[in-house]
Amino acid sequence: MIAELECVVLDCPDPAELARFYHSLLGGTVDKRDRRWSLGDDWATLHTPSGLVLAFQRVDDYQAPQWPDPLRPQQFHLDFSVPDLDRAQEQVLSWGAQVLDQGSARRGWRVYADPAGHPFCLVRHSR
């Protein structure tokens, strides 16, 4: 094991609205201060009572999925917390991942695609 699931991120047109919806469903705290994530018009979070964190990311020209139409697939990505970004990158690349966005060292995360093309992020562990 090299990572811990940190967050599930859902694309959407209105992050605050979707955070309120899931808050109504799950409870918890919307936009709780947390050094792992920035908050703003394009990003919202929900820290649930179970410890799961959902995040909501604004996407311009968002098109909702249409189940089960493969032309409009489900849209989300996973964030994985790792203690060492460089080492974790070496490992995921050796398992078949591809770099989508190397990012900068100070930013604290990098974006990859899994072998099937689904995006995921490795995030520098900050606890």
Burial class of residue 110 (count of CB atoms within 10 Å of its CB; 0-12, 13-18, 19+): buried
- What span, in angstroms and rounded, lies between the C-alpha atoms of 109 and 114? 16
pLDDT in tens, the chain (127 residues): 999 999 999 999 999 999 999 999 899 999 999 988 888 999 999 999 999 999 999 999 998 888 888 888 878 888 999 999 999 999 999 999 999 988 766 788 899 999 878 899 999 887 5
Domains in the chain, CATH or no CATH each? 4-124 (3.10.180.10)
SS3 111: strand
Q: What is the pTM of this model?
A: 0.80
